[in-house]
Amino acid sequence: MIVDYLSNAHNYYGLGPRIETALQYLQDDDIDDLEEGSFVFDLEQQGLRAVRSNFESRPIAGAKYEFHRRSIDVQHFIEGETLCGWAHISQLKLEEYHEEEDYVFGTGEGDLIRARPGTFFIFGPHDGHMANLQPPEAPGPVRMKKCTVKVELDDSSDYCRLP
């Protein structure tokens, strides 16, 4: 997992051309006028799609970690301070893999990291993540905006894959 501010995104372009394109898209993207809900956009470069979201955070209780075998999530938090859970795959018990949708949930212990406006996270296949969590000090759900670029893995990827 990588976490940093989008103003430092250029430091991660060396992770590969798709990651570079994803980070550049997030730097150029403007979702200020986005309606409530989630919207999917195919990007011009093959293997990339963006999910732009405007919604409320969710409670930590009952949240599960999510993994993807065939993609990397590059998540940019634009508005609303929330928490993001992270755990390495070796720390969690995995449930059944859903191949068509490319996800598997996991349960166990991990860490919570504050997601502030302007931050981005890169989650590889070995990174369990649960985003959009309501901070315990918040009086209720937090209004938030974020954009996730799904970066498909290919045979040239240096990232590890789930077992």
pLDDT digits (tens, 9 = 90+) for 140-156: 999 998 989 999 887 54
CB atoms within 10 A of CB 159: 16
Query: pTM of the prediction?
Result: 0.88
pLDDT digits (tens, 9 = 90+) for 108-144: 999 999 999 999 999 999 999 999 999 999 999 999 9
CA distances for 72 relative to 9, 20, 61, 69, angstroms = 16, 13, 25, 8
Nearest to 84 by CA among 106, 62, 110: 110
Q: 15 phi and psi, to 5 degrees? A: -75, -10
CA distances for 29 relative to 24, 75, 129, angstroms = 8, 13, 23
